[in-house]
Structure 1
C-alpha cells in the first residue's frame, strides 16, 4: 500500500501511555464530544496498576475503533505502517493524506466543521481514530 501524499505525525503522549498489554480502550460518546478511556502503562510512566486515563475529544465529527492490532502494524497491514514513527502511541496527523477516508467503519457523531484535526491512537489490539476540534488528557484519580 503506497501513499502518494504522506501525513506528518506529531506524538502527543509524552509522559503517559496506554497499558501495552491490555489497554481495553472504551469509546464513550457524550453529546458533541467523545471520551476514550483505557488502562494506563504503570511500568514506564507515573500511574498506578489498574489506573485508567481518559482522552476527551471536543466537537468530534467522526471516530472509529478499528481492527488493526500490533501484529498488523508490524506486518505492514496498517495504512500507516512504514509511515508513522511507531505503533503504540497517540498522534496528531497533519498534512496531505490520500488514505484518511479509507476505513469503512467510521462512526459519524456530528457534522464536520472547520478546524477539525485528525488524531490516531495505536493500541495493542485495535486502533482508535477521530476528527475533532481539540483533545484533553486526564488520568483518573484514586
Structure 2
C-alpha cells in the first residue's frame, strides 16, 4: 500500500459525530447511505439528514472498526488515512479483495472507484462508479 492516497470528499459537511444513525439500503447496483448531519461544525440543521448514493456499485462492506480501534492502529487504514471521521476516495489500494469480506453485487468494472466513510462506530467501504450527496430535513 505504498502508493496509497486519500482524496477527502466531504469538505463542507460531515456526519453527526456522536450518533449518526446510519442506514444502508441496496437497490440493484445503487447503495444508499442515510445519516444525520453534523449541525455543530457545518451548515446543517438539527435532525437534517445527508444521503450518499453510490451508483454502479459492485461491492460494499460494513466494518465495525470504530474511532477507538482506528486511533489504536487497528483499522485497515489507521496508519494511512489522514483523519478519522471523514469520507474519502481511496486511490492506489492494491491489496487483494476477498469476496467473503464483501457484499458483492457484481464484478468490479473498469470505472469502479473505492470509497471509504469513517462513521463514529462503523466504517463503510464501497466500490462504485460514482457518488452523489444530497440533504433533507428530518
TM > 0.5 fold call? yes
Task: Give the CA RMSD over aligned residues.
Answer: 1.7
Return the TM-score normalized by structure 1.
0.90
Question: How far is the alpha carbon of 1:26 from its aligned partner?
Answer: 1.2
Answering whether residue 91 of structure 2 is matched by residue 70 of structure 1, we say no
Return the TM-score normalized by structure 2.
0.93
Mapped contact 1:59–1:110 kept (Cα < 8 A)? no
Show structure 1 runs of 4+ deviating over 4 A. none
Match of 2:47? 50
Determine helix, strand or coil for the equivalent of 1:124: coil
Answering whether residue 126 of structure 2 is matched by residue 133 of structure 1, we say no
Q: Which digits, 9 at most, give the CA deviation of each residue in 1:20-68, with x for residues without a partner?
A: 0001211110121100111100001111111111000001000011110
Answering whether residue 94 of structure 2 is matched by residue 97 of structure 1, we say yes
Please give the alpha-carbon distance, in whole angstroms, between the structure 1 residues aligned to 2:98 and 2:29: 23
| Aligned length in residues | 138
Please give the alpha-carbon distance, in whole angstroms, between the structure 1 residues aligned to 2:99 and 2:72: 18
Question: How far is the alpha carbon of 1:141 from its aligned partner?
Answer: 3.9
